[in-house]
Structures are given as C-alpha cells and as structure tokens.
Amino acid sequence: MKVIEGGVCAAKGFSANGIHCGIRKNKTKRDIALIVSEKRANAAAVYTTNLVKGAPLTVTKAHISDGYATAVVCNSGNANTCNANGIEIAEQMSELVSKHTGIAANDVIVASTGVIGQPLDIEPIADGMAELVAGLGDNSAIAAEGIMTTDTKLKEIAVSFEIGGVECHIGGIAKGSGMIHPNMATMLVFITTDCAITTPMLQKALSGDIANTFNMVSVDGDTSTNDMVTVLANGMANNRTIDCEGEDFDTFMKALNTVTVYLCRCIAGDGEGATKMLECKVRGGVDVQTAKTVAKSVICSSLTKAAMFGSDANWGRVLCAIGYSGADVDVNKIDVSFESSKGSILVCKNGAGVEFSEEKAKEILLESEIIIHVDLNSGDAEATAWGCDLTYEYVKINGDYRT
C-alpha cells in the first residue's frame, strides 16, 4: 500500500471539478463541486447525529437507499438547513446534474455546507452547472476547494493497494474546520474507489471505520447539521468482488483507514483559528470504550486546548478532563506525557506530578503537532482522538461568521 496522487480522481473512472457559481459573494472562492463516476457505483454513507439535519442529507438518504450512486454535488457558502424549501432545492440540484450529465437524478448524492438557516438560491447553481460539468477531469484539488468554508488548507489523499494481485485505488477529499465534534461534525468527506466491493460490505467498512476516525475528532464541541461521509465504489479495478469478511476485506479496511485517518488529522489541524494539531493517544484501558471516552474528553477540554495554545505543560487539566469523562478509571495509576518533534517529556506518574524541565516542556509544546500520551495502566485497550488548540482567532472567526 502506498500514498499516490489524485485524490478522488485517483481511482479509475472518476472525474471531478469545482467552480465559483455565485453562491458566495467572494468571486475568488469556488462554491460548488462535482464528482462523477463513469459507471454506476455501489454507495455507502454515514450522517450527522444532530437531530437538526440539512435537507441534502434527507435527499441523499433517499437517493442511495437502493445502494447505488453515480455522482456527488456539493455547494459551499450556504448549508441549506432549516429552510422551508430545502428539500426542493436539494432535489433541484440533483436534477441539474442529471440534465447536464445524463445521470439519473436519484443517483446523485447531494451535500451542502456553510451558514445555517439562510435561503439557498438555485439560480446561480443552475447558471453554473454547464461550466461545472464541462470542466470535469482530473481535478480533485479544485473540487476540494469547492467544498471549503472556513478551511485554510486543502484536504485530499489517495492510496493504492492490491486485492488478489489486482491494483486498486481509493482517495478522498474533505472539508472541516469548525463546528466539529465526535459523532460526526461539520465535515463533509467524499471517498471514491475502483475496488469491487458489494454495497453491504462497503457500508460495513465505512460504519466500522468512522467509529475510530471521524467520530474521534473534535474542534469545538459543536456537532453540525450537515455532516456526511460517503464512499462510491465503481468496481473498475476489476478485482475479485469483496462480498464477505476475510483477507480482502481486511486489506480494503486498511486502505480506507489510511485515507480517513489522514483526513481526520487534516481536519483537526485546520480547526478554526488553530495553531496546533492535538492527538491524544490513550493506552492501558480496561476496554476500548473506556479508552475512547478518556481520549475524547481530553481532546474536548477547553482548558487543555487553551494550555496547548499557550505551550503550557499544565498536565493537571488533562487529569481533570479524565476525571469528569465518566470513564471508570483508577486515577492513581494514570501517567501523562507530552510529545512533539522536539522530544517527549513525562509530566505525571501514577496520578501525581513528577519533576520535569519547564523549559524542555515549553520547547516540546511550541511545535505545531502535539501528542498527549495517557496511560491508564489498567488493561490493553487503546484509542486515539484528534483535536486542536483553542485560540483568540476561533472567537474572532465565529463572532461574526454569519454577517
């Protein structure tokens, strides 16, 4: 397995594009993206757990209820949520794709991101669809730009892998910067693969993977209304079809996980106003759920996030977050250390502070990627969660986001 170029266009038979159609006032920013498969693909998806859901999610669920899709269309700048005509607009977006590509409207996945509660005008989308379709090609990065909101960095990756000696490819693009919290967040992730895999196994792979990836990311504790992760598998690699668990399914899961973990780290590191990507690695849990609960609590702690912004080795905040997490742990067994490219330093042993160099700790915590190691010393279970520091800029961005 190796990382390759191409993003969502790395797999055979997929093309993409992104343009500025006029949803955003800023004409320098693309605001709509399209991904198309040459062949009708098996489709799987997971959605936000927020009870308030954007209309595109409702439409997408209906469209892929038969297990298939051929295209993905996504606009940015307006989330199409809490709008009286939201379903109608989402369906119209599908119909516009159908009109200009010949793809059946009910084979289109629809997504939307941006401001909640603001009416979405279909006119700019209708006016721009011909240009969007005409520009379809090996344009994964351009499509990735089209789905960005407050993101500052483009998020894409692809890998190649083998199933039964046949080379397959899987790639993805993502957006996500704020309103990010475990159990799906303001993130949109579109993954494509030419691997032949049945819809039930594709859904099984995706649902199993997100429990340890996208559901372990938090930027600010807010769960969005429009989150969605989708995978399209068109089978054009012509490998033996994966229709059950086994070695081939395990290989596919590893490839999928390589893509999703990379995108998780990108999303966490590009949190609104963030200067540092935080990774909490927990080991020694009595079970996986305990390890996950602890990792999430640490990564969600506003005080810990603020301390990381200030490069302050305030390990007490980590222990505090573990203490209120609800996990059944023995606080007298917990070890904590901080790590970055500048080294590692133990700051807490058996639930109590140890002598350490504040200067060395500061040097470690000044780096842009920080690992918070937590050892519960009570078992063999492990878990990892991703997040970012909490900065002044986060408040500035969200103080006037709508206006």
Residue 186 annotated as catalytic: yes
CA–CA distance, 154 with 145 (Å, rounded to integer): 7
CA–CA distance, 185 with 387 (Å, rounded to integer): 12
Give the residue from 86, 88, 109 showing the smallest Cα distance to 97.
Answer: 109
Alpha-carbon distance values, 81 to 86, 90, 108, 111, 255 (Å): 7, 10, 19, 11, 33
- Alpha-carbon radius of gyration of the chain: 22
Helices (H), 25-163: 55-63, 86-101, 122-134, 140-146
- The HSE-up count of residue 131 (CA atoms within 13 Å, CB side) is 14
- Active-site residue among 186, 223, 225, 258? 186
Helices (H), 243-287: 247-269
Give the residue from 266, 298, 276, 271 showing the smallest Cα distance to 374.
Answer: 298
CA–CA distance, 21 with 33 (Å, rounded to integer): 10
Give the residue from 77, 63, 79, 69 showing the smallest Cα distance to 32.
Answer: 77
- The HSE-up count of residue 135 (CA atoms within 13 Å, CB side) is 17
Asked if residues 389 and 274 have their Cβ atoms less than 8 Å apart, the reply is: yes
DSSP 306-343: HHHHTT---HHHHHHHHHTS-----GGG-EEEEEETTE
CA–CA distance, 255 with 385 (Å, rounded to integer): 19
Q: Token pair of 70, please?
A: 């051929």
Q: Which residues are catalytic?
A: 186
